Structures are given as C-alpha cells and as structure tokens.
C-alpha cells in the first residue's frame, strides 16, 4: 500500500476523443484510436488518461449533451471497445478517468423526452420548469455560448425550461431525489466496469437556489455558469462522493469548478480533514494568466494560500478543449517549453491536454469549417501521428483542419528528434517519477523577480529546485548551495553544474550536487 492516493503523484493526460485518432475512416477519432495509441502514452510517461465524453449524444456540444449515460455513441465504438480499451490501459499501468456530465442532459435523452411530454409527466420535475408568459424569461440568467437567456419556452406545455448551456442541453433538477438516484446509478455503471474515476463537468452548477433569483447585477451580463454557484451543491457532492466510496481502489473525482475565485474553488474539496467532496478541483485562473513572472507568482501564491495544505491537493492546467492552447497564447515554442517545466514543477496534480506534448498550436479554422457553438474548434484540431497523407488517421478527411506544421510536429517526426518538445515532456515526466519531492514535496519560494521564479520542493531528504525564466533575456538567479542541472528546456545544459544563469526562456530542474 502506498502512503498517498495515486492521483496526488499522477500526471493526467486529457484525450478529446474526436480529435485523437480515427480508425474507421469517418474522420472522427474513436475508442479504437485511443487503444491503438496507448503505447505512445506509456512511452511519454503519463499515469492516467481522462477521456472527454464518448456517450450517446446528438453532438450539439460534441458529446457534452448526453442522451444515454450508460452507452457508447456508435461514432466512437461500442461498450466492448470501451472495455477493451480499459483493460489494455490497465495492463499498461495507465488509469482511466471518464467525463461525467451531471448538470444537464441532451434534449434527446429519454428522461427529457418524457418530462417534456406533459406537465403531468412522472419525470416533469427531473428538469427545471417555470410558468410565465412566452416573452419574459423567469430570471436574468444567461446561457453559455449564446449569452442569451438560459430559458427556452416550450410551446406544447406552455412553460419555460432552464438550460445553462444550449437549449438542447436542459438542466437536470438535482433537488429531485429521483434525479439524484438515477445519476448515482450512472456513476455505479462505470465504476463497476472498473474505471478509476471521473472528471465532472461544471459540477459547481448542479445545486441551484430553489427560488431561482436573478444573478447579481455585477455578473448578470455573463453566462450564469461562469460566476455562480449555490451552497446546496456541497451536499450533493458529499452524496456523489459516497457513491465512489462504495467501490474500492481509490476512485477519484476531479471537478470542473468554473469559478474565478480560488478560495471558492478550494471549498469544493469539502470540510473534513480528509476532504469529503471533490478529491481534486480544477483551478482555472492560472490558465488565463499571461506568460509573466509576476502574474504567475500571484497565481501560485493564491493557490498556496487558498488550498488547505492537507485536505485540498491543488491541480494545474495550461490547456484543454475549451480554450486556446498555451502554445498559441504564449506565442512561441520556447515559452511553451518553459511552461512545461513550470506546470510539472509545481505542487499539485498536473493535467496535460493531448497535443501539448507536441507543442501543437491551435488550427486556423476557416469560417466555413467552424462547427462548435462556442467557437472552440482551433484547440480541437486532430493530433498528427506521422507526416504525410492522413497523418496516421484512417483514410478520409479529419473533422477539423490540421494544426500548423502538422508534419513536422507529428508524433513520429518528433520521436526521431531528441531535441523535439515531446522529448522534453518525456524527460520531465521521468524526472517527476524519479523524485518524491517533485511529485509530492513541499513548496517554497527561493527567489522571484520580474523575470524569473525559483522555488524549492522537498520531501524528506529528496530536494529539487525549479527555476523558470519568463523573459527573453539572460537572467541571474540565486540558489543556495551547488547544483547540477537534472533537466533543462535546453537539452545540452543537462548534466552540467548550474552557474546561476538562465538563458532566454530557459527553465531547469536542479538537484543538489553530491
């Protein structure tokens, strides 16, 4: 038995299944495509994968509109394909998280179909309905994507229903015990199949004030889900946590808490010494921080200050399927390399987004190929596995354009080039595995200024120092004692003793010289 849960020392790799690898020629990645590429992830050295939704769905929000929580959409394969993928991942030592979407279903879900059929439907209260007149929505809440009203008028039954996202994504009513029970069963369905845990979509929104009051004026002009939460969610989370606890083996729940106040995010770990809500919570403010030493210092200080040192283990993320990739935001591969050292050198569980290990930029998506209602197509470009025709995908056009320089950045091309960014990620992941201090150690600033951040990680007698130059000029940093460069964004520096100077955009991991 390990002395800590696996997810504290793990690095999780997010797979957006549509974009990972297609095996049947429809241009859309599938579960078989993930299975075929598992060896790349083992070579890379990640510990777990999180697969974005692959459940039955009309794909209005590309899978985040679920019409059956307990089946695989034929586009992605079958339940047997999933079982095979899970078994093969486990046999390689990779854990598997899946994406659970509890706030809303698809309007095509049998539950909503039944609910909407009549006001007397036994499932009517599984969703959120309000009386009113057809021209005035019940409150000022806005939906994501459209930024219009979060309400749609249902002609047939002459009531409004609530949707924090598209009108095709009606919100479930978590005040109904029947909804709670049915959703708990969807968790059990996958837990019993052997998955290692869930990423939980907009989890902070499942509890709502039963009175559905207007959002405060200050935040009334932005989507409700981006600023608001309600106390009742915490109780619901304790209930969800107890379902995971029915199963052995350290199953984990990591929640998407899309709030921009780290203190509020941290509350979702729960109250007791061990935490009784989420095991992990995404903290998104750093994802929106500029590539700037001061901005990052502030983000790190906030995370350290707001997370309970024992009950709330932080997370770090630079890219995902909803935002511009950091390689694109930060503007150069040199910075993306330094950012990788930052991400994997902090205290907490890092989440990588497929393709960031290749330094992929967002695709440039011409207007006639935009398909996402939120305009997030660029970061969802397909992963190039090899140079040339098809790029390792089955024959046929991929659903989105390829990212820039797809041949040169493909997995195969980079694996042949020891200086490529994919090898930096691999060395970083190996360095973390080799060091308890990097995986779980304490965090302490050693030096910070406008250009560079330097911190120390320590666990028992294992010690590492991480130094990141955010600037495009050479800088001097102070590190007590003498050190060897265990890892560097600039490979030729590795193994030499550290002089105290960082080249432009250089980031290093140091270990004490013997």
Is position 28 an interface residue for Ca ion (rule: CB under 5 A)? yes
64 binds ligand NOJ (CB under 6 A): yes
Distance of alpha carbon 477 from alpha carbon 170, whole angstroms? 53
Smaller CB separation from ligand NOJ, 28 or 334: 28
The only residue of 30, 47, 61, 107 in contact with ligand NOJ, by rule CB under 6 A: 61
Residue nearest to Ca ion (CB): 30
Which of 202, 257, 266, 344 lies at the binding interface for ligand NOJ (CB under 6 A)?
202
Q: Determine the Cα–Cα distance for residues 244 and 188; give it in Å rounded to an integer.
A: 8
Torsion of Cα atoms, 480 then 484 then 487 then 492, to 10°:
130
Side-by-side strand order, sheet with 159-162: 129-130, 159-162, 151-154
Does 165 contact ligand NOJ by CB under 6 A?
yes
Give me the least distance between CB of 58 and ligand NOJ, in Å please: 13
Q: Which stretch binds Ca ion (CB under 5 A): 26-34, 187-195, 262-270, 312-320?
A: 26-34
Could you give the dihedral angle defined by the CA atoms of residues 421, 422, 427 and 431, in that order, rounded to the nearest 10 degrees?
100
Residue 101, contacted partner among Ca ion, ligand NOJ, none, CB below 5-8 A by kind = ligand NOJ
x-or-dash string of contact with ligand NOJ, 334-353, rule CB under 6 A: --------------------
Q: Residue 28 touches which of ligand NOJ, Ca ion, none (CB < 5 to 8 A by kind)?
A: Ca ion
C-beta of residue 47 within 8 angstroms of C-beta of residue 94: yes
- Which run of H or of E encompasses 330? helix 326-330
Look up residue 262 and give its two tokens.
Answer: 């780290």
Nearer to Ca ion, 45 or 382 (CB): 382
List of residues 6+ apart from 322 with CB closer than 8 A? 374, 376, 379
Does position 73 bind Ca ion by CB under 5 A? no
Q: Is the CB of 28 or the CB of 365 nearer to Ca ion? A: 28
Q: The tokens of 113 are what?
A: 């179909």
Q: Which does 30 bind (CB under 5 to 8 A by kind): ligand NOJ, Ca ion, none?
A: Ca ion
CB atoms within 10 A of CB 218: 8
Is the separation of the CB atoms in 377 and 365 below 8 Å? yes
Binder among 5, 6, 9, 24 for Ca ion (CB under 5 A): 24
Q: Which helix (H) or strand (E) holds 272?
A: none
Is residue 226 at the binding interface for ligand NOJ, with CB under 6 A as the rule? Answer: no
Does residue 107 bind ligand NOJ (CB under 6 A)?
no
In whole angstroms, give the CA distance from residue 92 to residue 35. 11
The alpha-carbon radius of gyration of the chain (Å, integer) is 23
Tokens of 230: 């309600």
Reply yes or no on whether 201 is catalytic: yes
Catalytic residue among 201, 229, 356, 511: 201
Q: Which is nearer to ligand NOJ, 149 or 345 (CB)?
A: 149
Residue 322 touches which of ligand NOJ, Ca ion, none (CB < 5 to 8 A by kind)?
ligand NOJ
State the Cα–Cα distance between residues 122 and 356, nearest whole angstrom. Answer: 47
385 binds ligand NOJ (CB under 6 A): no
- Which string of DSSP letters, residue by residue, matches 135-201? TS-SS--B-TTT-SBSEEEETTTTEEEE-SS-TTSPBB-TTSHHHHHHHHHHHHHHHHHT--EEEET
Which residue, 348, 347, 330, is CA-closest to 338?
A: 330
Q: Is 377 in the site for ligand NOJ (CB under 6 A)?
A: no
- Give how many residues touch ligand NOJ by CB under 6 A: 9
The only residue of 7, 16, 17, 22 in contact with Ca ion, by rule CB under 5 A: 22
Shortest reach from residue 373's CB to ligand NOJ, in Å? 8
For residue 279, how far is the Cα from the chain centroid?
Answer: 14
Six-digit token pair at 282?
Answer: 């995404």
Q: How many residues sit in the footprint of Ca ion (CB under 5 A)?
A: 5
**Could you say which of 41, 85, 94, 101 contacts ligand NOJ (CB under 6 A)?**
101
Partner from Ca ion, ligand NOJ, none contacting 22, C-beta within 5 to 8 A by type: Ca ion
Binding map of ligand NOJ across residues 470-509, x = CB under 6 A, - = no contact = ----------------------------------------
Catalytic entry in 209, 214, 246, 407: 246
Say how far apart CA 376 and CA 354 lie, in whole Å: 15
202 contact choice in Ca ion, ligand NOJ, none (CB below 5 to 8 Å, kind-dependent): ligand NOJ
Q: Is 246 a catalytic residue?
A: yes
With respect to ligand NOJ, which residue has the nearer C-beta, 201 or 361? Answer: 201
Write down the least CB distance from residue 61 to ligand NOJ, Å. Answer: 5
Q: Tell me the residue number closest to ligand NOJ, measured at CB.
A: 64
Give the x/- contact pattern for ligand NOJ in 231-260, rule: CB under 6 A: -------------------------x----
CA 62 to chain centre: 16
Residue 165 binding: pick among Ca ion, ligand NOJ, none (C-beta 5-8 Å cut-off by kind): ligand NOJ
Tokens at residue 162, please? 């609530």
Residue 200 to residues 20, 241, 248, 253, Cα–Cα distance (Å): 21, 12, 19, 7
Do residues 220 and 179 make contact, with C-beta atoms less than 8 angstroms apart? no
Q: What does 26 bind: Ca ion, ligand NOJ, none (CB cut-off 5 to 8 Å by kind)?
A: Ca ion
Gap between the Cα atoms of 78 and 55, Å rounded: 10
What tokens were used for 302?
């906030």
Catalytic residue numbers read 201, 246
Q: Which residues of the shown chain bind ligand NOJ in the complex (CB under 6 A)?
A: 61, 64, 101, 165, 201-202, 256, 321-322
Q: Which residues of the shown chain bind Ca ion in the complex (CB under 5 A)?
A: 22, 24, 26, 28, 30
């Amino acid at each position: 038995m390990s002395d800590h849960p696996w997810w504290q020392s793990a690095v999780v790799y997010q797979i957006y299944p549509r974009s990972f690898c297609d095996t049947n020629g429809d241009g859309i990645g599938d579960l078989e495509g993930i299975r075929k590429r598992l060896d790349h992830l083992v070579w890379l050295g990640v510990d777990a994968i999180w697969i974005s939704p692959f459940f039955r769905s009309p794909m209005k929000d590309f899978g985040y509109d679920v019409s059956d929580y307990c089946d695989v959409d034929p586009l992605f394969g079958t339940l047997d394909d999933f079982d095979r993928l899970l078994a093969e991942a486990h046999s390689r030592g990779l854990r598997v998280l899946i994406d659970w979407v509890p706030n809303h279903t698809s309007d095509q879900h049998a539950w909503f179909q039944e609910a909407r059929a009549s006001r007397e439907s036994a499932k009517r209260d599984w969703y959120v309905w309000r009386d009113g007149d057809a021209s005035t929505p019940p409150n000022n809440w806005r939906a994501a994507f459209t930024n219009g009203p979060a309400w749609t008028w249902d002609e047939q039954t002459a009531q409004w229903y609530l949707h924090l996202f598209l009108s095709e994504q009606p919100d479930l009513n978590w005040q109904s015990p029947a909804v709670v029970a049915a959703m708990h069963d969807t968790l059990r369905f996958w837990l019993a199949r052997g998955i290692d845990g869930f990423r939980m979509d907009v989890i902070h929104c499942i509890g709502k004030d039963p009175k559905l009051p207007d959002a405060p004026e200050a935040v009334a002009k932005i989507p409700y889900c981006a600023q608001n939460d309600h106390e009742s969610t915490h109780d619901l989370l304790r209930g969800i946590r107890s379902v995971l606890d029915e199963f052995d083996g350290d199953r984990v729940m990591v929640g998407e808490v899309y709030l921009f106040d780290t203190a509020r995010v941290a509350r979702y770990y729960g109250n007791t010494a061990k935490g009784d809500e989420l095991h992990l919570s995404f903290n998104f403010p750093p994802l929106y921080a500029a590539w700037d030493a001061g901005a990052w210092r502030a983000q790190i200080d906030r995370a350290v200050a707001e997370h309970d040192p024992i009950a709330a283990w932080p997370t770090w993320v630079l890219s995902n399927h909803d935002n511009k990739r950091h390689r694109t935001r930060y503007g150069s591969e040199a910075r993306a390399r330094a950012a990788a050292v930052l991400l994997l050198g902090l205290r907490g569980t890092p989440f990588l987004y497929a393709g960031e290990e290749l330094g992929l930029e967002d695709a440039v998506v011409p207007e006639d190929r935009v398909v996402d209602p939120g305009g997030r197509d660029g970061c969802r470009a397909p992963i190039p596995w090899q140079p040339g025709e098809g790029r390792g995908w089955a024959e046929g056009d991929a659903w989105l354009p390829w990212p820039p320089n797809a041949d040169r950045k493909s997995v195969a091309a980079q694996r042949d080039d020891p200086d490529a960014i994919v090898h930096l990620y691999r060395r970083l992941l190996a360095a973390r595995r080799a060091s308890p201090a990097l995986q779980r150690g304490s965090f302490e600033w050693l030096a910070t200024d406008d250009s560079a951040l330097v911190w120390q990680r320590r666990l028992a007698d294992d010690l590492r120092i991480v130094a990141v130059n955010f600037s495009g000029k050479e800088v001097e940093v102070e590190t007590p004692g003498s050190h060897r460069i265990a890892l560097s964004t600039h490979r030729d520096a590795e193994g030499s003793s550290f002089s105290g100077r960082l080249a432009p955009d250089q980031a290093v991991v140091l270990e004490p010289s013997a």
